[in-house]
Amino acid sequence: MERRTIGAAALGVGAVGLGCMPMSWAYTGSQQRGERSLRAVHAALDAGSTLLDTADMYGPFTNELLLGRALRERRADAFVSTKVGLLLGDQHMVANGRPGYVRRACDASLRRLQTDVIDLYQLHRADPEIPVEETWGAMADLVSAGKVRALGLCAVGARARRRSGGDPHEQTIRQLERVQQVFPVSAVQAELSVWAPDALRTLVPWCEARGVGFLAAMPLGSGFLTGTLTPGQGFEADDARARHPRFTAEMMAANQPVVAGLRRVAARHGEGATPAAVALAWVLRQGRHVVPVPGTKRPEWAVQNAGAAALSLTEADLAEIAALPAALGSWD
């Protein structure tokens, strides 16, 4: 697989990563089977998807424990990315950016992941009660201590600015400018896909101009852009899509033209090309610093996602995707 680099330290990863969250949290709990998920991790690594993205809150904790079982055997093959700063409470999430907590959380993640160093440690959310510089300084100390190789930041929620027509990533960029004065940012993670292209306005260019990697979260639109979901099929109660406005039967039906367009492009690339591969290839074309991180818990889909790195979209393909209707329905 093609290799891409993250940050000024030029940390090398496969062009397509693996999001591990669905294996343990937020998606279809009845399908979260540990052994199959382990096979998915191994299949991704075999296919060149070296970046494994997790977080301590996924589960919580169980996703890191699962990943640790694979890393025990294949640490040298993997680029490990995990996150800190969010605590999962009863029906809500709370940010914690206190330096002491960050240090303890890192040690706990290292134990669960069964490794002595985290390749990319990301701040999941800034704590509104703690200056972000203090949190980032504690994370930088972990780099000095040899426990972490590089630091990243996840984009904050943007629903209010998106609804008002403002830049949805204005707050994230302000945070980035602040923490960059403390210690270099190697990567930023935010949603980017054919049906959620907001990050292309300012956030992706900000990263490119500064040599910062961009990890594209939800590049397959939480499964919608694969073309495998049927309007009205319903989701289990513990699946986040059961409460997502874009996954009502009405909105899924209304947004089928987006999938149909991806399917047309895939058909031009012959047998084996899928809407999902086209969606990932589109993300890859948004910059050499961009690495899509599609999530899955199935080995066969991990292999298919990795294969998207070999799909070369033409200018005609890109023009057809650009002409697709904007997705209907709220993001949040």
Give the per-residue pLDDT at 158. 54
Give the per-residue pLDDT at 165. 57
Residue 34 CA to residue 7 CA, distance in Å, equals 32
* Beta strand pairing call for 79-84 and 118-123: parallel
Give the per-residue pLDDT at 40. 96
Q: Please give the model's pTM, rounded to 2 decimal places.
A: 0.94
267-292 per-residue burial string, b: 16 or more CB within 10 A, e: under 16: eebeeebbbbbbbbbbbbebbebbbb
Give the per-residue pLDDT at 324. 97
Q: Where do we find the tokens 């890109």?
A: 318
3-state helix, strand, coil in the chain (%, to 5): 45, 15, 40
Give the per-residue pLDDT at 161. 47
Residue 302 CA to residue 226 CA, distance in Å, equals 13
Give the per-residue pLDDT at 160. 43
In this structure, are residues 244 and 234 in contact, taking their beta carbons and an 8 Å threshold? no
Specify whether 101 is catalytic: no
Give the per-residue pLDDT at 272. 85
Residue 6 CA to residue 202 CA, distance in Å, equals 18
* Cα distance between the two ends of the chain: 34
Residue 82 CA to residue 118 CA, distance in Å, equals 7
CA angle at 135 for the pair 133 and 141, rounded to the nearest 5°:
100
Mean pLDDT by 10-residue block, N- to C-terminus, for the chain (332 residues)?
A: 89 96 71 82 98 95 95 97 89 91 98 98 97 98 98 79 68 97 97 96 97 97 93 80 87 95 97 95 97 96 97 97 90 54
Q: Spell out the alpha helix ranges (H) of 115-228.
A: 132-144, 159-164, 170-179, 203-209
Question: Which candidate, 152, 150, 126, 177, places its Cα nearest to that of 293?
Answer: 152
Give the per-residue pLDDT at 193. 97
Give the per-residue pLDDT at 271. 85
In this structure, are residues 278 and 322 in contact, taking their beta carbons and an 8 Å threshold? no
Residue 213: partners with Cβ closer than 8 Å, 6 or more residues away? 4, 5, 6, 7, 11, 152, 186, 187, 188, 207, 289, 290, 291
Give the per-residue pLDDT at 219. 98
Give the per-residue pLDDT at 33. 66
